Structure 1
Amino acid sequence: MIGLMGLVALLIDLAGLSFIKIMQTPPEIFVGIAMIALGYRAMKDLLKMPKKTKVK
């Protein structure tokens, strides 16, 4: 039981340390991730648009 509690405490500690490490990365990475997500959503929206019919 004590070993299980130690393992859980270790995992919580590692999760906290990894979150701190992520927050120390340069902000350009977050801007790049946001731009990729925005571009993906824009392309998905463009593909859903109806086809334009030609008027003769």
Structure 2
Amino acid sequence: MSSNLLAALILIGVGLFFLARNLGWIDGGIGNILATWWPAILVAVGVGMLLKRGK
């Protein structure tokens, strides 16, 4: 994955986070979300690494 694509995805993710927070879809800050969803984040990173390895 190129660095430009990664930067774009990060910006989209941050933008979606702030949008969802402003619309009241999520409560709390990024720390609260990471504390709740860290297992899913680890699984997603692991799956991404496995898929990248298979190419």
Aligning the two structures, in what range does the TM-score lie when normalised by the shorter sequence? Answer: 0.3 to 0.5
TM-score (norm 2): 0.41
TM-score (norm 1): 0.41
Larger Rg: 1
